[in-house]
Structure 1
Amino acid sequence: MSDRLSMRSVVTLLVGLALTASAALADPQTLRNGDDLFLSGVSATETLTAPRDVLAAGATVNLRGSVAHDAHATGFDVEVEAATGGSVYAAGATVTQRGTVGQDLTASGFTVRTTPEAVTTGNARLSGGVVTIEGPVTGALTASGGEVVLNAAVGGDVVLAAGSLRFGPAARIGGTLRYFTGAAVEIPASVVAPDRVTFVQVHMTNPFRDMGGMGRDRWPRMPGMLSVMAGFAVTLGFLTLLGAMFLTFVPSPVEALRRSALARPGRCLIAGFLGLACLFGLVPVGAMTIIGLPLVPFVLLAVIVLWTLAYLLGAYALALRVVQAAGVTQEPGVWGRVGALTGGLIVVALLNFIPVVGWMINLTLVLWGLGAMVLMMVAWKAGPSAPAPLPKGHSA
């Protein structure tokens, strides 16, 4: 592309946005520094008489009046009605250029449009999902988007890249036209002479469609029943071994957690829900603080570990309660507890094959077990206390 943004323009835009974006969600603010004017707020709407540059940021940005030099605007809904003596740089979800531009126009957004009265004296560079050019461009035009519509006169060369390209009745190109699409487009001779048109065919990718074939060379078919059963056995063996280690080496804390889960099931479910919400909430909070970004992987690891341990605790507490309800009054030894855990894991795993109900039961076990852990941590922070009594009819 022959048209390039100068480094000065890019730096100016970034500095301006950095200064204004921090206040973009606050009350409308106006700041003057030298001859530059900074605007920010939920709705940065002003009628201006700016002696130099204007830099605006907000959810809604609407610039009216006149700007002697450059205008920089960013927001969700951006409209530039002001006449500018310099260049316009705009970015947002919806960007509409209505005022005349003394030099160059650079805009990017989901929807970008220049209206018929928006005359650009210099070059125009536009990018978006849907780009509509109705305002005349004296210089060169560079535009790219999923859909590009040209319905204005362009004095210089034009470069267009689009998935869908259309020309309106007012389209005129004084220079050459180079367009990049998936297939050639019929261009009326009234727009540009055929000998000044260059077509470059490009392969238009669809990432969602292409993702459908990922891994087919490695996994050309679904795994067989034997593979599924082997995976189930390995997972069951790992969870049983992990649970057996806890029952063997730290039986007292496990027993205290089981007692707490059986004594206060409702409170455990609520505490588990809150604890899980806090764990998942640490991920975006850590990412937003920037400083906490290095800790995000450890938070995710903690979620996986606690989820697994809570699942084991819930399955163990439920299985042992069922065994005792069946009439086994003798306190089981280590192997008896491991056997109860194994049986419980098999049953709750098979429940997953029941649509909706199965995974809800498994999730409830996780919340139940995690809640018992949370309540024990709260009790530990509060100080020593007697273990939670079992409900009437329960045995240790």
Structure 2
Amino acid sequence: MNRLLPVLAAALLAVAAPPAAAQDDDTARLGFGGDIFAAGDDLRLDGAEGDLFAASEDLALDGAVGGAAHLAARRLSIDAPADRLYGFAYRIDLSADVAGPALLAAAEVEIDAAIGGNLRLFAREAEVSGSLGASAMIAAEELGLDAPVAGDLMLAVGRAEFGPDATVGGRVIVYTEEGETPLAIPERVAPADRVEVRDIEEWDRTPGGFGDMRRAAGRAALTGFLVSVLAVAALAAAAVAVAPAQVATWRERALSRPGQSLLAGFLLVSVVSGAGFVLALTIIGIPLFFAALFLAGLVGYAGYVMGSYILGVAIWLRLGNAMPEEVLPKAGLALLGAFVAGIVALIPFLGWLAVLALALTGAGAVATVVREGRGES
């Protein structure tokens, strides 16, 4: 999760400079210092001399990356080598070698390549073949391993199948729930004297360890969740009460043209935040850099408030209900949307993408209507 936020932030900054916008209305790219920043609905990238930062619905990497590849998508296909790889998606297909370490998180992962550094893999279903040149940490519901592991192998999996090429040069550490039968490691994969079974609950019983951290984080998360939902609902209700006609127009625009609103929000936040970096280059504009970033954050949060209200309305209408006229029921719809958005945000990795899209859609709907209104006047 800590690496996902930089990926998304980099993708938002990808269109900071208008001359770098490329190809079509749904794609934006920026090259700077050998690094490439890209975002769009359907991307095919030819690599980068330095680092690559990209976010997309469908993302395919067809060219080599000399540095680190930071990639976020729903469907991610990597067919060219990279020095280091950090990928987050619903499905990841890796068929090109990675010289260094790789961190992959997705529901479905298929690896058929050589990874020179440590592999950190988190998935529901994972198929790993090729070769792993260092150690590997794998957490999955179902795992198919048919690759030699040069170093240690740490496993937290429900079911596993080991192919003929599966061997481990170091230790095999298997984490299991108390009372469950430990995962069986074949002798050909690693001899019994190099296999260690650990109870995953041992971490929870350690004072100040994962158990205490999880409980403290849980309390903080619950409090923050409730405060966030109520705050979003209150702000949306205030907007409806103060400017009901404008809010209705923004709502209709987002519901009728969600794709256009999402793209407009993307460009709005990118331009505002990018302006801060441009001003910073003038030296005298450095004080305005932080103001621009603050404004970008404010725009994003306002978009999230409006997006949550629109989400609540969309759910209400999809259930076959009529749109209410009074402010209080509309506030209830904002509360509904904020609650659903908050629940979605709890989904690891993919939840952040959904919330980001919601905020950009809300901001984009407002920006599009305002721009068209100025054009007509």
TM-score between both structures, scaled by the size of structure 1: 0.48
TM-aligned CA deviation for residue 13 of structure 1: 5.8
TM-aligned CA deviation for residue 187 of structure 1: 2.4
TM-aligned CA deviation for residue 69 of structure 1: 1.0
Which deviates the most, 146-155 or 18-27?
18-27
Does the 8 Å contact 1:26/1:42 carry over to 2? no
- Structure 1: give runs of 5+ residues left out of the alignment: 1-9, 204-268, 291-396
Task: Work out which of the residue numbers 96, 104, 107 in structure 2 matches 1:107.
Answer: 104
- Determine the structure 2 residue equivalent to 1:31: 30
Does the 8 Å contact 2:4/2:88 carry over to 1? no
- Determine the structure 2 residue equivalent to 1:19: 10
In the alignment, the residues of structure 2 paired with residue 270 and residue 90 of structure 1 have an alpha-carbon distance, to the nearest angstrom, of 42
Percent of pairs identical after alignment?
Answer: 25
Q: Secondary structure at the match of 1:130?
A: strand
In the alignment, the residues of structure 1 paired with residue 332 and residue 41 of structure 2 have an alpha-carbon distance, to the nearest angstrom, of 29
Distance 1:273 1:83, change over 3 A: same
- Determine the structure 2 residue equivalent to 1:282: 334
Q: Secondary structure at the match of 2:90?
A: strand
Q: Secondary structure at the match of 1:68?
A: strand
> CA offsets, 1:149-177, max 9 Å, x none?
21111110100001222212221111111
In the alignment, the residues of structure 2 paired with residue 39 and residue 170 of structure 1 have an alpha-carbon distance, to the nearest angstrom, of 37
- Determine the structure 2 residue equivalent to 1:73: 71
Distance 1:289 1:196, change over 3 A: closer
- Structure 2: give runs of 5+ residues left out of the alignment: 16-23, 202-320, 343-377
In the alignment, the residues of structure 1 paired with residue 114 and residue 341 of structure 2 have an alpha-carbon distance, to the nearest angstrom, of 43
Task: Give the 5 Å matches for 1:168-247.
Answer: 168-181=163-176, 182-202=180-200
Alignment RMSD: 3.2
In the alignment, the residues of structure 2 paired with residue 129 and residue 180 of structure 1 have an alpha-carbon distance, to the nearest angstrom, of 16
Does the 8 Å contact 1:155/1:173 carry over to 2? yes
The letter of the residue matching 2:173 is: R
Which segments of structure 1 move beyond 4 Å, counting only runs of 4 or more?
A: 10-13, 21-26, 269-277, 284-290
Does the 8 Å contact 1:131/1:144 carry over to 2? no
In the alignment, the residues of structure 1 paired with residue 145 and residue 12 of structure 2 have an alpha-carbon distance, to the nearest angstrom, of 32
* 2:72 paired with 1:97: no
Q: Does 1 or 2 have the higher relative contact order (CA < 8 Å, sep 6+)?
A: 2
Does the 8 Å contact 2:120/2:138 carry over to 1? yes
Does the 8 Å contact 1:177/1:192 carry over to 2? yes
> CA offsets, 1:361-382, max 9 Å, x none?
xxxxxxxxxxxxxxxxxxxxxx
Q: Secondary structure at the match of 1:16?
A: helix
Task: Give the 5 Å matches for 1:96-135.
Answer: 96-115=93-112, 118-135=113-130
In the alignment, the residues of structure 2 paired with residue 189 and residue 270 of structure 1 have an alpha-carbon distance, to the nearest angstrom, of 65
Distance 1:119 1:277, change over 3 A: farther
Which deviates the most, 144-153 or 181-190?
181-190
Q: Secondary structure at the match of 2:59?
A: strand
Task: Give the 5 Å matches for 1:1-396.
Answer: 14-21=5-12, 27-48=26-47, 50-84=48-82, 86-115=83-112, 118-181=113-176, 182-202=180-200, 272=324, 278-283=330-335
In the alignment, the residues of structure 2 paired with residue 22 and residue 281 of structure 1 have an alpha-carbon distance, to the nearest angstrom, of 32
- Determine the structure 2 residue equivalent to 1:344: none
Distance 1:111 1:174, change over 3 A: same
Which deviates the most, 92-101 or 177-186?
177-186
Q: Secondary structure at the match of 2:334?
A: helix
Distance 1:77 1:22, change over 3 A: farther
Q: Secondary structure at the match of 1:135?
A: strand
In the alignment, the residues of structure 2 paired with residue 38 and residue 23 of structure 1 have an alpha-carbon distance, to the nearest angstrom, of 5
Distance 1:62 1:277, change over 3 A: farther
Greater share of helix residues, 1 or 2? 2
Does the 8 Å contact 1:153/1:172 carry over to 2? yes
Q: Secondary structure at the match of 1:65?
A: coil
In the alignment, the residues of structure 1 paired with residue 325 and residue 341 of structure 2 have an alpha-carbon distance, to the nearest angstrom, of 24
The letter of the residue matching 1:120 is: I
In the alignment, the residues of structure 2 paired with residue 22 and residue 280 of structure 1 have an alpha-carbon distance, to the nearest angstrom, of 35
Q: Secondary structure at the match of 2:330?
A: helix
- Determine the structure 2 residue equivalent to 1:374: none
Distance 1:26 1:189, change over 3 A: farther
The letter of the residue matching 2:51 is: D
Does the 8 Å contact 2:7/2:72 carry over to 1? no
Does the 8 Å contact 1:184/1:201 carry over to 2? no
- Determine the structure 2 residue equivalent to 1:221: none
Does the 8 Å contact 1:73/1:90 carry over to 2? yes
Q: How many residue pairs are counted as aligned between the two chains?
A: 212
TM-score between both structures, scaled by the size of structure 2: 0.51
The letter of the residue matching 1:199 is: V
Larger Rg: 1
